[in-house]
Chain A
Amino acid sequence: MLGMNKKDTSLMIVVAILALGAPILLNPFPVDSAMAQFNAGYPDLMQRFAIFGIFAIGFNILFGLTGYLSFGHAAFLGVGSYSVVWMYKLLDYNVIWGLPLAVATAGVFALLIGYVSLRRSGIYFSILTLAFAQMSFNLAYSVLTPITNGETGLQVYTEDPQVLLGATEANSPHLFGLVMNQSSKLTMGGWEFTFNNGYYFCAVVLMVMFYLAIRIFRSPFGMMLRAIKSNNTRMAYTGLNPRPYALAAFVISGMYAGLAGGLMAAMDPLAGAERMQWTASGEVVLMTILGGTGTLIGPVLGAGFIKYFENIFSKINDNILHGWFSFLPDGLEDFVVFIIHPFIGKGWHLTLGILFMLVVIFLPGGLVEGGQRLKKLVSKKDDNSNTAKTEPAE
């Protein structure tokens, strides 16, 4: 279907179902139950799943396929956000103007930064991208204040021109009148589901970007990128100059990041320099690795995983823990809560760091590899019970 093989088509369908059904799937617990705090089906969080999913898919096209580890992708994220907010300020709140501009400006930035950075490889490349991103961040914070509004962050003011703004037009981001922060609620028994316009907009964009990523992975171009990662020497002795291919991958992934940054501003009409800081670049690296580098679905999983736990883990506090472990004898209960305490709430980053280390050490393929191993384990058990007499496979 749509030029994909069977496996990719089913993957695409799974992603589509997950993306479109998320408001229901992520809200499995009734509103009044004690578990309701684990519901992730609220617009703000779901938007972040989709946006960071797009960011990570794009990053993976560079890192997963070519092996070039960029520590500067947050710069493109920021550029995307600024572009969208500027279009709000100059034209109106319709995101249709800003998003293409976000992709384009991020692409131009990526072309410039990539062209210079790709003259080196390995750690030098990582440091160069880091240097460029930090430079952009510092500039956005200081001298470029007329464009970025410095520390305050860029936002829309009433005195802004907004030349296209109609009299009846919504005063917040929208797509041809479809207002992003509007939702409709559906109550069924004890459950409540929120269907948010903004989320569905992000989800559709995510599906399109995921589909594009599948096509890129399966294209001759994708194969060239994997060839760069695998063996640069053979690449050169096959008459191919790896640089334009790597640069194209860099620009594509920069455009994905720009789109993600644009969507952030489409959900919330703000843009700040901190979005460009290198820790934000680090985050997308974590997502991609945690999910599974070089796999299609991995980055999306990693983004969802990190954003979910960031929001949910950080909400758990000692009272909740006491509630969970109240079945234990008092002394033991306090002890267990004491042990878990550093890892929850504000300590969530500690959990993330440990988890990330464990993944790099034991599961280099990330969550996807973990899933595959589990599957193998299960199917092996089946094999043993059902087909014990079959010949060993050649």
Chain B
Amino acid sequence: MGILEVKDVGKRFGGLQALSEVNLSVKENTVHAIIGPNGAGKSTLLNCLVGKLIPDTGSVMFDGQSVLGRKPYEINQMGISRVFQTPEIFGELTVMENMLIPCFAKRDGSFRMHAIESMMNEKDVVEKAEAMLVDMNMADKKDMHSASMSRGDKRRLEIGMCLAQEPRLLLLDEPTAGMARADTNNTIDLLKQISDERDITIAIIEHDMHVVFSLADRITVLAQGTPLVEDDPENIRGNPKVREAYLGETA
């Protein structure tokens, strides 16, 4: 039993069968990559996992509970955090404030007014945020306006914000898209470090083979809305079907 179980998921948009009979099992504390050519249904699948879309058929279970029909913030409260293709951070806030928000927000999502006390007096929250910034190697950028940072730094901040919530599953959507080589390598190192040091499961949707083979413990190849094969990276590399469907295309 994996921590995330996708069973027979299908989704149709008008005449287009975007997903059909998708089965997927992500084991706890592994890095699971989902790859596939453009239009294979990767983003659709991801949106089904986080509550943005509801699949027509099938089920998505996280830790024994169905996520279907729940709102994004409810799914987040179950322990799933998401990193977006374009970093979604609070651009108008400083780096520190960005980090304070997930540290302040309780996992249960309960509404807390706290309208009168100063943020800086919430000692444990501030300490947690500061520690997280140190972990992310961003302590020196603490007071920077987050919108003015480089894309790599924004990504780093976003990942840090997700980790601050101590999620059990971290979903990444092409985390290195649009990044320079150096930023890409930094991000790979960061993700490696995270998966080694923390008790966390990572599911990653990626285009860049370099990223996938540097990180993944397990790979699912998606083609035309349905999983072609699921295997270890070594076997995927040698699989002729995958070469034909995907690697051949890029070569």
Contacts and interface: CB of A to CB of B under 8 A. Distances in A.
A238 B89 CA distance: 10
Nearest to B97: A223
B82 interface: yes
B17 to A, nearest CB: 28
Nearest to B147: A230
B142 interface: no
Interface in A202-232: 212, 215-216, 218-224, 226-227, 229-231
Interface stretch (B59-67, B117-125, B184-192, B204-212): B117-125
A227 to B, nearest CB: 5
A234 interface: yes
A356 interface: no
A235 B165 CA distance: 13
Contacts of A221: 112-115
Interface residues of A, number: 31
Given A220-B117, A223-B119, A240 B90 contact: no
Given A223-B93, A236-B76, A237-B76, A216 B115 contact: yes
A230 B122 contact: no
A190 B43 CA distance: 77
B90 A234 contact: yes
A237 B82 contact: yes
B107 interface: yes
B144 interface: no
Contacts of B90: 226-227, 230-231, 234
A3 B114 CA distance: 14
B117 A236 contact: no
B45 to A, nearest CB: 17
Contact of B101 (A215, A223, A229): A223
A233 interface: yes
Contacts, number: 108
Contact of B73 (A3, A5, A229, A236): A236
Nearest to B81: A237
Contacts of B165: 238-239
Given A236-B72, A237-B50, A229 B77 contact: no
A229 B92 contact: yes
Tell me which of A215, A234, A244, A248 has the highest count of chain B C-beta atoms within 10 A of its own C-beta.
Answer: A234
B104 A237 contact: no
A218 B118 contact: yes
Interface in B76-98: 76-77, 81-82, 84, 88-93, 97
A245 interface: yes
Contacts of A248: 111, 113, 115
Tell me which of A216, A220, A227, A236 has the highest count of chain B C-beta atoms within 10 A of its own C-beta.
Answer: A220
Given A236-B73, A236-B76, A231 B114 contact: no
Given A223-B101, A227-B101, A230-B91, A237 B114 contact: no
Tell me which of B71, B89, B118 has the highest count of chain A C-beta atoms within 10 A of its own C-beta.
Answer: B118
B105 interface: yes
A4 B73 CA distance: 33
A379 interface: no
Contact of A219 (B71, B105, B119, B125): B119
A4 B117 CA distance: 10
B16 interface: no
A220 B112 CA distance: 9
A241 interface: yes
A244 B158 CA distance: 24
12 contacts: A215-B115, A215-B118, A222-B119, A226-B92, A226-B93, A233-B84, A237-B73, A238-B101, A238-B102, A238-B105, A240-B73, A248-B115
Interface of A: 3-5, 212, 215-216, 218-224, 226-227, 229-231, 233-241, 244-245, 248, 252
Given A3-B117, A226-B93, 17 more contacts: A219-B118, A220-B114, A221-B114, A222-B115, A223-B93, A223-B97, A223-B119, A230-B91, A234-B158, A236-B76, A237-B50, A237-B73, A237-B81, A237-B82, A238-B76, A239-B77, A245-B111
- Give the 4 A-B CB pairs with smallest separation, nearest first: A239-B76, A230-B90, A221-B115, A244-B111
